[in-house]
Amino acid sequence: MLGPAAVPSISSLLPFVLGSVLVTIVPGPDMALVTRQVLAYGQRVARATIAGNILGLVVHTAGVAFGLSALLLSSARIFEVVKLAGAAYLIYLGATTFWLARRAAVAAETGLPLQRAMITRATAFRQGFLSTTLNPKPALFFATYLPQFIDPDGNVALQVLALGGFHILVGVIWLTTYAQLIGRLHFVLSRERVRRGLERATGAVLIALGLRVAFSER
């Protein structure tokens, strides 16, 4: 049976909740990718991407709880490989978003109908999962932020899972709300010129985030 120190205290939970919410709503790769999916493919694809993002956060949380993230952060070579793989994937997603916008522009100039190739929800799920899992920043956040609210005399793994679970719940609520907000603006965003401009902007953001990850230090 776990003692009273097995879970974080209320006094430590309040600042954690505030910090978790603030970290979640700061724009990053997950929001940029969700924006791309809503604009290009719709809500169903965006929801599948969010599910992949969340599973990626589960992986990072479990990594911290069971010590795997310590291996990632302690090995410069492993960290660099994961970081560059994540950066390359974000740049790839940004480049394909640019390509979609370019196709739409050519179709508008020539008067030809644009056939947007839909992606499956499985593909969208994989994109969300890989973009989060291959980004070492969540691992760094969980490994450096969560321990500040852990009672070392309690069950550390259980506390990490509890705090990580709350952070994941905040992520689910925020990303789902954000996708719905983008969807509600569909009457404006669905105008082809606006859509193309936003797709270009989203592509640029994804590429910029990929470059930022690639050249970032731990």
* pLDDT at residue 80, rounded to an integer: 75
Q: What is the pLDDT of residues 174-209, one digit of tens each?
A: 999 999 998 888 666 656 666 667 667 777 877 887
Judge whether 65 and 164 are in contact, CB under 8 Å: yes
* pLDDT at residue 3, rounded to an integer: 45
Task: Spell out the residues 6+ positions from residue 167 whose beta carbon is closer than 8 angstroms to its own.
Answer: 20, 23, 24, 57, 61, 142
* pLDDT at residue 147, rounded to an integer: 73
Average pLDDT, integer, range 63-87: 68
* pLDDT at residue 2, rounded to an integer: 43
Q: What is the pLDDT of residues 130-175, one digit of tens each?
A: 989 888 778 777 777 777 777 777 777 888 888 889 999 999 999 9
Residue 24: pLDDT band by 50, 70, 90 thresholds? Answer: confident
Q: What is the pLDDT of residues 111-122, one digit of tens each?
A: 544 455 678 999
